[in-house]
Amino acid sequence: MNRFKSALNSRIAGKIAAGLTVVVAGAYIVPRATSETEHVNKVLDQVLMAADTSSPGWDLANIDHARVDSWVSKFTTSPKLKPQFAIWLERKTKYEPMISAKLSARDMPQDLIYLAMIESGFNPTARSPKAAGGLWQFISETGQRYGLTVNRRLDERNHPDKATDAALAYLSDLHDRFGSWYLAAAAYNTGENRVGRLMRQVTGQEKGTDADYYRIADLLPRETREYVPMMIAAARIAKEPAKHGFGAEEEIAMAE
């Protein structure tokens, strides 16, 4: 892996890396015929992931995909979604210090904050049609499993600090199981058993790489199929808001 990284720093290796990207893209289309092919695909995925995570200001893989581009476009041009995203950006400033500190304490990627962004828009009292609640949109059962009190008198899913502790503990467990933060995010959204079953079906094992998310994506429910692309799109915009038409005072005023 060190040889790959050293080579990628040279001009010649830059051309090689571009060629590898094309090959990796082809791997999603051409059926895997042998275990040897599977091994090659895994190696190429690791090369691609190393390049992605080296993007300045990123600690999750900034994976290019048409679904990511589509969500960037929706969040930045839709008359309904753009003002909504502006509100999310404004709320982010309130909760980011707390979430960032807890991520650092657990040595988890800072970019996981964008999971909360797409889950609730940083609204600690958000409620979904499926009765998920709070900043991290826990259903009652999962919230209670991770130490939150959820009853008629008290719902700690709506407590940003406690809900964040529970969410990060859950995500950490999911990452331990699947070996990838994007597979963990998919499992967070749709359930770990479903992701585990699909990973075994498609790759032969539960643990995988971030690229494996796209290998199973078409078999996931529609909401989960868009989940990681939404996270990456939200991160791209939030990291460079002015570039995407956000940040000006008039934009925030329009959102309110």
Q: Which residues are catalytic?
A: 119
What are the φ and ψ backbone dihedral angles of 138, each rounded to 5 degrees?
A: -80, 140
Token pair listed for 51:
């390049």
HEC assignment per residue over the chain: CHHHHHHHCCHHHHHHHHHHHHHHHHHCCCCCCCHHHHHHHHHHHHHHHHHHHCCCCCCCCCCCCHHHHHHHHHHHHCCCHHHHHHHHHHHHHHHHHHHHHHHHHCCCCHHHHHHHHHHHCCCCCCECCCCCECCCCECHHHHHHCCCCECCCCEHHHCHHHHHHHHHHHHHHHHHHHCCHHHHHHHHHHCHHHHHHHHHHHHCCCCCCCCHHHHHHHHCCHHHHCHHHHHHHHHHHHHCCHHHCCCCHHHHHHHC
Does residue 64 contact residue 127 with C-beta atoms inside 8 Å? no
